[in-house]
Amino acid sequence: MRVVVLASGRGSNFAALAEAKRRGELPISLRALLSDKRTAPALLLAENAGVAAIALAPRDFPDRASFDRALFARVAKFEPDLVVLAGYMRVIDPDVIEPWRGKVINIHPSLLPKYPGLHTHARALEAGDTVHGASVHFVTAQLDGGPVIAQVELPLIAGDTPESLAARLLHREHGLLVATVRLLAQRRVRLGANGVELDGASLQQPLLLDDRGQLR
Ligand code: GRF
């Protein structure tokens, strides 16, 4: 499975994919990492992993749609079977994303449909939630609103701050993303007409990552 990653910043989720592949645990070929930020550390991580690293600056384009068209034209050159948004911090134009239905996933740090958008850790704490988590979902025109494939749950602990929670969750996100991409690479998961399908059957609720890193 040919995979292209989009990332805006640190790139730890990209690194988790690259490391799992290096260890022979992920049957994918990482074709490229593209970023909307020239200074994104993710670009360096990609170069160091021997993956094509490309930056495209939104300010070089007249509007959002033309940037997104140019970005996805570059993505298409790598002929990916899967595009992973891993810390990609821009909303993508609905007309640009539409033809990619079922081929783009995103990792989001909340138990969707709770807390789409930003500041998810602070919002979970403010709401007094006892459990927080992360989701991997197919990307549709709706922000953080596409069908959820898999989630990981994380209990809150006394004294948690948005920062401590984010740090604890990030480690689990890496396991979640790797396990979900593995299912996609094995062609066990796809987006059907009525939502996510696992082994040909409709998924009634998102898969959940267990403590051993398996999705159930
Ligand atoms: C992660 O928390 C991811 O869920 C969110 O952005 C963060 C990206 O982290 N969408 P990294 O750049 O992969 O380290």
Q: Is 41 in contact with 11 (CB distance < 8 Å)? A: yes
Protein residue with its CA nearest to atom 14 in ligand 1:
12
Ligand 1 centre distance from Cα of residue 114 (Å): 17
Give the binding-site residues of ligand 1, using a 6 Å CB cut-off. 7, 9-13, 86-87, 107-109, 134, 170, 173
pTM of the shown model: 0.97
- Say if residues 55 and 9 touch (Cβ distance below 8 Å): no
Contact 212, 176 (CB under 8 A): no
Q: Which residues are catalytic?
A: 108
Chain segment 153-211, per-residue pLDDT in tens: 999 999 999 999 999 999 999 999 999 999 999 999 999 999 999 999 999 999 999 99
- The protein residue with its alpha carbon nearest to ligand 1, atom 10, reads 87
Rg of the Cα trace of the chain? 17
CA 204 to ligand 1 centroid distance, Å: 26
> What digits encode the pLDDT tens for the residues 36-68?
999 999 999 999 999 999 999 999 999 999 999
Is residue 28 within 8 Å of residue 56, measured between CB atoms?
no
Q: Give the tens place of pLDDT for each residue, 134-156.
A: 999 999 988 889 999 999 999 99
